[in-house]
Amino acid sequence: MPDIKIRLRPNGPMVIEATSPLDTTIEIFDHVGNAFVIPAGKVAVALCRCGQSATKPFCDGTHKTCGFMAQELAPPRPSA
């Protein structure tokens, strides 16, 4: 099983979650290599997709009031 799971919430953020919290640390870096501060022991982080968050790259819930709409679906798994 992968150590990190990324989930797109309907009309909301991208949630990055450690599936093995004891073995995995989530790290997020900007384009020049500086790390964003993530509290120790945090096993899930919500990243903004609407572009309106005051705490980018993190979600602050603004998607609920700015009209952001996105409900991407992955292709269904093939049946065996």
pTM for the predicted model, two decimal places: 0.84
pLDDT beyond 60 at 1 = no
- The full set of domains in the chain, from first to last, is 1-74 (3.40.5.90)
**pLDDT at residue 2 greater than cutoff 70:** no
How many of the other CB atoms lie within 10 Å of CB of 48?
21
- Structure confidence by residue, pLDDT tens digits, 13-53: 999 998 876 666 788 999 999 999 988 878 899 999 999 99
CB atoms < 10 A from the CB of 3, how many? 13
Residue 30 and residue 10: Cα distance in Å, rounded? 25
Measured CA to CA, the distance from residue 27 to residue 36 in angstroms comes to 7
Q: Tokens standing for 2?
A: 């992968």
